[in-house]
Amino acid sequence: MVFGFGEGKIEIRLEKTIFAPGEVIRGKIVLSVNNPKQARRLRLVFTGIDKVTERTTMGNRPSTRTTDRVFHSFAVDLDGEKEYSGTQEYDFEIAVPQIPQVAMPEGVLGTALAAASLLSGNPRRREWTLNASLDCPGFDINKKVQIQVNQ
């Protein structure tokens, strides 16, 4: 096929999509390739990213920029170098890390800091993803899903 389209697909099946720190993510990777394909490995990567949006003003023009900062990354190879064919399933378990939150002071100081953070216009968002990838010469076959971790 042209540019690797139609080479196959990956599904990430999860028992659920909302987790707590310390909980185990259980799921299954379903890999389907249309024709036998030589690949280096099948890998699953669990990533936590802080997305920080910064708002600035240059002259009269406001601008927004979002910066991504990876604070957690865990990779596991589900299978190695070989010829992949047909449909194969791989079970996995990955623990959600215990990432400590930055504690705000209590009382008036804590309230003032929370208000300043809100008014500064620099919201911070935490994003967690699972990315499965069949590492092939040419174009990889990938699938990425987002999960929620309640802090």
Predicted confidence (pLDDT) per residue in 32-43, tens digit: 999 999 999 999
Residue range 15-39: mean pLDDT, rounded: 96
Name the more confident of 75 and 52: 75
Residue type, 144: K
By DSSP bridging, strand 18-19 and strand 141-149 are parallel
Provide the domain limits for residue 33.
Answer: 2-98+105-149
138 — pLDDT class (breaks 50, 70, 90): confident
What is d(CA 62, CA 32) in angstroms, rounded to the nearest whole number?
A: 47
What is d(CA 4, CA 137) in angstroms, rounded to the nearest whole number?
A: 10
DSSP helix/strand/coil, 41: strand
Residue range 101-120: mean pLDDT, rounded: 57
Residue 89 has pLDDT above 90, yes or no: yes
Overall number of domains in the chain: 1
Please state the three-class secondary structure of 32-88 as a single string.
EEEEEEEECEEEEEEEEEEEEEEEEEECCEEEEEEEEEEEEEEEEEEECCEEEEEEE
Strand partners, 133: 43, 142
CATH number for the domain spanning 39: value is 2.60.40.640
Percent of the chain beyond pLDDT 70? Answer: 81
Whole-number average pLDDT of the chain: 86
Outline where the chain has alpha helix (H).
107-119
Sheet-wide strand order for 24-39: 8-14, 24-39, 82-95
